[in-house]
Amino acid sequence: MAEVTRSCFSRVALLILYILHQSCVVESTLIFNVLSFGAKPNGVIDSTQAFLDVWTAACASSDSTTIRVPKGRYLLRNAMVFKGDNCKSTDITFRIDGTLIASSDYRVLGQANNWLSFEGVTGVSIIGGALDAKGTSLWACKLAGSTNCPNGGATSLSFTNSRNININGLMSLNSQMFHIVINGCQDVRIKGVKVNAAGNSPNTDGIHVQLSRNVAIFNTSIKTGDDCVSIGPGTKDLWIEQITCGPGHGISIGSLAKDLEEEGVQNVTVKNAIFKGTQNGLRIKSWARPSNGFVQGVQFLDVVMLNVQNPIVIDQNYCPHNINCPAQVASVRVSDVVYRNIQGTSATAIAIKFDCSATNPCSGIRLENVSLTCRNQEVQSHCANPNGKIVGTVQPNSCL
């Protein structure tokens, strides 16, 4: 009996080992370490070529691949493009335990559109780590009004014409311009990202999404000098949840109507957001010029405003500096926008502003359980050409 028991036990043990072995084979991941390709974690020696080489090696494999970036500071002096054209792998993960830093000389990247750019890739994940674009000197140059500043500046991280993208736990510091751009992409998940830049840093949008579908942004903190999240033409099925914004210019759809032929923005949800001391809260903005663009099916749900200058705004006569304003017919149609459970404080007396087109009035605007107050003055609404209704208690009194 003992022999039979031992025999059965041995067979079971062998079966378990076989299953575990097969599991390891199925789930095996090829690992590349940037140090093996010549990267230096001292923040002094340029590691640009090492990162390009490790990407080439990862793309050459058809297996799931992890690119390891150990602790340390890695100088990536030049603009880099990671292309997916010849990639065999559809599962490449950058696991970053260190910090990637740009040159302290803003002129090195100042003429580039992007610092780190992924083009036409599938199944790329960026996990952890920090990007330090050293943008403060370029901001200072611009704020001083110097004519020697580069036009624009570099976006820190860009994905273009890509799909199945995952960005998790990344920190972006001091971008020259936009921090993260999602352009022409599908199936993108951004989670646990932190963006940090000064409140006066120019054109440093936290996350910009355009011409993209099925993008989700969760549990993200953005402190910057422009829009925390900006939503451009052609954005569809965007979900933003558990986001903290401030300082910054709020969450903005637009600006739209830059072009006559322009794709619309559709099915956008912002839920469980907190705005702290921002210039705006929830904003839709378009220029007063002809366009076939539109905004439709937007939900702003469960939002807290803390001393926000303009908590709720639709501006179809957008012209930020009142210089060379188009003053034409605003053609972008804004419809089916819901504001539900919006609470907190406004830093100005006008807490709700709907400045809609007389030719194409906003329609389907719904205010539901809105409570906004202003310290030491009565809070008000301002309306021009909106159509909609209120549900529940709305303060300030609605002018719909």
Q: What is the set of active-site residues?
A: 226, 249
Looking at this protein, which amino acid is placed at residue 195?
A: V
Cβ of 8: how many Cβ atoms within 10 Å?
10
Helix (H, G, I), strand (E, B) or coil at 110: helix
Q: 357: which 2 tokens?
A: 């087109």
Q: Which residue in the block uniquely carries the two structure tokens 């159509």?
A: 387
Amino acid letter, 191:
K
Q: Which two tokens stand for residue 107?
A: 């002129």
Closest CA to 73 of 44, 106, 52: 44
Q: How many CA atoms lie within 13 A of 154 on its CB side?
A: 29
CA distance 39 to 46: 8
User: SS3 letters for 139-192?
Assistant: HHHHHCCCCCCCCCCCEEEEEECCEEEEEECCEEECCCCCCEEEECCEEEEEEC
Nearest to 285 by CA among 246, 245, 340, 325: 325
Strand 155-160 versus strand 333-346 pairing type: unpaired
Task: Work out the widest C-alpha separation in the chain, in whole angstroms.
Answer: 96
Residue 299: φ, ψ to 5° = -125, 125
Least Cα distance to 320 among 154, 183, 224, 202 occurs for 202
Q: Residue 130 and residue 134: Cα distance in Å, rounded?
A: 12
